[in-house]
Structure 1
Amino acid sequence: MEFESEYRWPGVTYNAIRVLEEVPQRYPFRSHIYRSTFEVSGFPFCRRIELYCIAEPGKRALILDTGHPDLCGFEALDGVQKTLRIPWSNIEVFLSHFHDDHDGNLLYCVQKGASKLYSGPTQIDSRTLIDNFLVLSSSVDLKSDSASSFIRLVAAGKKAQTCTQGSRIELHGGETLSIAGYHFDVLLTPGHTSNHLCLLDKSKKIFFAGDHICDAPPGCMQYAINDHLVARYLESLAQLKELNLQAVYMCHHNPLRGSFEINRFISLIEGRYETLVIRARKLFADHEELTVREAAIVAAAHYPRGLEGFPVSTQINRIATIFGTLEYLYDLGLLTRFINDEGALVYRRSW
C-alpha cells in the first residue's frame, strides 16, 4: 500500500546534504551513530532537519525521529535497510515529540514493518484538549477544522495513536533503551512540548536532544493549564549543564561537542528566556489585566494586520505560545490569574 501523509506541505523543497553518514569516532572505535542532514526551503518552522539512526549494521537499528515526506523524503529511512542491511523487522523508531517534521513519516515506518515505536504520552481525548484550550484562551470563535487539526497535529500525538498498541510503547521517563553498546536513559523533558522525550547515555555523556535544545526564538506552546512548560524547561536546561555532556545531537542544528560549547549554547537559550520575561511584562504596560487572546493580540499589534492577519493555525500557535509565557510569569509571581464568567483565564499584573 502506498504511503500518504495526512498533512502535506506543498511548495516546500529540500536538498540532502548527507544521508546516513557515520558520525566520526576516535580510531579504532566506531560511533554506530548515523546522521542525515537536509536543507529545507519554504517550510515555516525550520530550514534544516537532522535525522539520526543508531545501528549495528546487518543486525538492529533505532531510528530517532522520522522526518516528513515533503521535508526530507524517505531516503534516510529506506537507507537503513538498503545501506545498513537491516530488515524493517529489526528496526525500531523513537519519537522525541509529535510535531510534523519529526513524526510525519511515522506511518510510513509502521507500514514498512518497523518492529516497535517508542513515544511519549499521547493525549487520548484530543477533543477535550481542544475545547478546553479554546475556552481558557478566550478563542472559541477560532474553533474550526483547521484549528482542531493543528492542535491534534502538534499536541495530541494523532499519528502515534493510529499505530497498533502492540507496536507502540509509551514512555514516561525512567526507562532504558540499549543498542550498539549504548545504554540510554529516557528523559521526559517538557518544554518544546508537554510530552517531549530525550535520550541520555550518562557514561558516554551523549545526549540526543530532539528539539529540547534548539536555536530558536524563546517560548513554549502550551495547551493546558498548570503544565508550567517554560518553568520545567528552564529547570531541565539547568540540570543538563551539570552533566558535563560531551556530545549533543539536535534535530535542527549541527552537533555540539565538549561541555564548554554545550553549556555556552544552553546559556544562550537561558538568556533568551530572560529577554522573553522582559518583553512579556511590557504587554501589561498599558493593561492591568489581559486574557490569553488579548495578550496575543497586543503582542502581534506591530504586524500590518495584527493577529487576525495570520492563518488560523498560526494564530493558534501564537496564542499557545503566549499562554505558556503568561503561565511562566504566573509561576514567577509576576502575575496573578483567575477564571472569568466565560471560563477564560485572565492574568493580572502584580507589580
Structure 2
Amino acid sequence: MALGEPVFDMPEWFHSLISRDVINNFAYSPTAGTDEARKAVVTINEYPGNFDNVCIVCGAEEGLSAGIGGAKLYWAGKKNELLIPSPYFLTYPTISKMMGMDLKTYPIPPFCKGSIAESIREHISEDTALVILNTPANPSGLMMTEADIRQVEAVCDEYDAFLLVDEVYRFFGNVEKPVCHNWKTVGERTIIVSSLTKCFGLPGLRLGWAFTRHSVLNQIFAAHQAMVAIAPTISQLIISRFPDFDYQKWLEDNRNRVIHNRKIITEALIENKLEYVPTLGSFYVLFKIPEAVLEAMDEVDFAFYLKDHFGILTVPGKAFGDYSKGFMRLSYGGHPDTFAEGVRRIRKGIDSIIHKGSSHE
C-alpha cells in the first residue's frame, strides 16, 4: 500500500502495437520527440495548441526536472526561487537541490486557510522563478478546478513567474468530476507536465511530455537534451498510434477502477475509525496517526513497526513535508481485494501500541 503503481488491464489493441517494426527501431529521434508522438500528446490531452508546443520526455519525473531546469536556464540568475506545494511529491526538493534552486513551500488545502491561490500569493516573491501546482495531488488527493488554476495563473502573471502544473493524475477524478480539469486555455507562462505512467498504467515505457506556449520551451529542450538526449524511440512509436484506437475507453476504464478503489479504501478507513484527509483525485489517501501512537514512537518507526509486525507497507507523511507530519500515505492504485485487510492490519497495529502503552502505565 506504499508504491504508487497502478494495476490496470490493457486492451488487446495495445498489445498489437508491439510490432516488429516498432521493436526494430532504435534510432535517435529529434530532441523534442517525433512529430507523430507530439501530435498524439496534444490529441490525447486536448491541449489548446499544436505539437510544436510539446517536448517528449522520459516520464513525468524527467518532465519535472526538464521544466525546472528550463526555467533555471531562462532566468539565468535573475530569479532562482522554486515555490512548491506542501504536502508535496517527495522528489520536488531533490530536483530543486540538483538545480541549485532556493526552495520555498506553500501549504495547500486543507492545511491552509483560504484558497490555493491565496496561499501562493502569501508565499510568492519577486525572486520566484517557478511555482509548482500538483493536481490531483500526491499525497493528499486534493483536486483543483479550472477556476482555481486560472486564479493561480493570474498570481504567477503578476509576479512574472512560470507555473508548472504537474497533472499526472488528471484523468483520475471522481464521480462528480471525472477529469480534474480541462484545458480550454493555457496561461502564457504555464508549463504542463504529464505522462503515460499513471493514467494508462505504463510506467516502464518512460514516456512523458512537457507542454507550454512560452519560449521557455527552447530551454526545456536544452535541459532535456543535457539530461537524457531523447525519450525512448520505441515508446514514441507506440504512443503515436494511440489516436488510431479507442484510448478514451481505456482511460475511462482505468478511472472507474480508481474511483471504485477509492470507495473501498475510504469505507475501510471509516469502518476502522481512522481519520483521513478527504481524497478527491489521484489514488492516494493520507490518514492521521493517533496521538497515542505518536507519543510512543515517531511516524518512521511506526511505518517499520507495521512492516515488521503486520506485513503492511506505508509511507510516513513527513516524507512529503512539514504539513503532513503525523500522517501516513496509502496508495490505492493496486489490488482492491487487499485494501480492507490492509487497513484492518493498520488498525490492529495501532491498537497493539496503544494497549501496550496502557498496560505499561
Per the shorter chain, which TM-score range?
Answer: 0.3 to 0.5
Higher helix share: 2
Normalised to the residue count of structure 1, the TM-score between the two structures is 0.34
Higher strand share: 1
By relative contact order (CA 8 Å, sep 6+), the higher-ranking structure is 2
Normalised to the residue count of structure 2, the TM-score between the two structures is 0.33
